[in-house]
Amino acid sequence: FMKMQIPNLSGFERSKGMSKLIDQMILLAITRGAIAGELIMTPDLSEVVRVALVDPATIEFKLLNGRYIPTQDNEKTVLDIPTFVYEGIDEKVDDPYGRSPIFSALSMVLFQLQVLNDIKAVVHNQGYPRLDLMIIEEVLLRRMPIAIRNNEEKKEKWMNARLNDIISMYNNLNPDDAFVHYDSLKVGEAGGKGGGALIDPEKLMHVIDNLIQSGVKTLSTLLGRRGAGQTESYAKVEIKLYMAGLAGIQRYISSFMEKILTLYLNMKGKQGIVEFRFSPIEIRSELEQEQFKATRLNNIAVMYDRGWISQEEAATMAVGHAPDSPEPRVAGTVVRNSDGSPVSGTTDTNPRAGGNTDSSGN
């Protein structure tokens, strides 16, 4: 599989390394609700060329003899082959198709887009002061020629012509032009800040944001929506919950990779099952990690000193393998708390550990 990261020297080729592959699988799992792919082999079936991911939206299952068979292109292409793997997210018992984790948020996102378009139209129409031109019809009628005034059809055309003249004149005004007009026209302002809104857009968008957060199952800290009352500890809890959700997605990717890698291992003539695991995501600083590690080691040492566990068990719990020495190299070494104080009931006889030894041995 390391060969997939070797660049193609004969021409352009998209990246097909393991990191890129996992990134694409995460995207498929979140947006499509499933991960699908095929192990591409050489013509003689002796070596793996690459792992080709397949858009799960193109996969259709048909039930045949009690088995779900994956197909493509309206069942023209049958993928009932051992090198094809499909992992659905949150599958139902009687449905092999996966479900996208963000599917519940789509309706609210579309609704938010509609609201944003409405707010844009409102701001364009009501957000800025506009001229309010009122034509005094009585003055125009006095200036209307008598021949036209007695003909309703000509009268209407004449009035519309004067109206269009005024509209054209003011549409062609520059921002610094002066308003010069007869007393038949009254100029005022309409709209603007004092128009009064029927709803508060900020409150409406806040409600929609909360619904979207619930739909995408992402907490406020990750979306930059932390409130004034949320503490750092509260934010850390939210981040841990979010990491637990990511670990759930990683489990499906691990299952996909285990099937692919186990198949490759068996093709190479080796029996066994491959286990694929992600390293845990760490949000603690190096100092915090070392403090937690020191506390854990001290707890193991206390259990050993109390006789609850053996040297072998203590070593396995502390470092993951058998002890290098059958007994502690420094007998009576003090066991300390995370703050540096000795654990009650232990004696410090090791000056290198930071303790002092008097003449009585205490």
How confident is the model over 6-30, as pLDDT tens digits?
Answer: 777 777 777 777 888 899 999 999 8
pLDDT number for residue 70: 92
Q: Counting beta carbons within 10 angstroms of the beta carbon of residue 98, is it exposed (0 to 12), middle (13 to 18) or buried (19 or more)? A: buried
pLDDT reported for residue 341: 66
Check: CB of residue 64 under 8 Å from CB of residue 72.
no
Give 176-231 as a DSSP string: T------TTEEEEEEESGGG--SS-HHHHHHHHHHHHHHHHT--TTTTT---TT--
Sign of the alpha-carbon dihedral angle for 43, 45, 48, 50: positive
Helices (H) and strands (E) in the chain, counts: 9, 8
| Residues of the chain where predicted confidence (pLDDT) is lower than 70 | 1-5, 123-131, 175, 177, 179-185, 188-201, 214-234, 331-362
DSSP for 29-85, please give it. HHHTSEEEEEEEE-TTSSSEEEEEEE-GGG-EEEEETTEEEEEETTTTEE--STTEE
Count CB-CB contacts under 10 A for residue 193.
Answer: 10
φ and ψ of 359, to 5 deg: -70, -20
Instruction: Tell me, yes or no, if the pTM score tops 0.75.
Output: no
* Euclidean distance between CA atoms 221 and 219, whole angstroms: 6
8-state DSSP, 333: P
pLDDT value, residue 361: 41
Cα separation, 314 vs 308, in Å, equals 10
Separation CA 162–CA 154 (nearest Å): 12
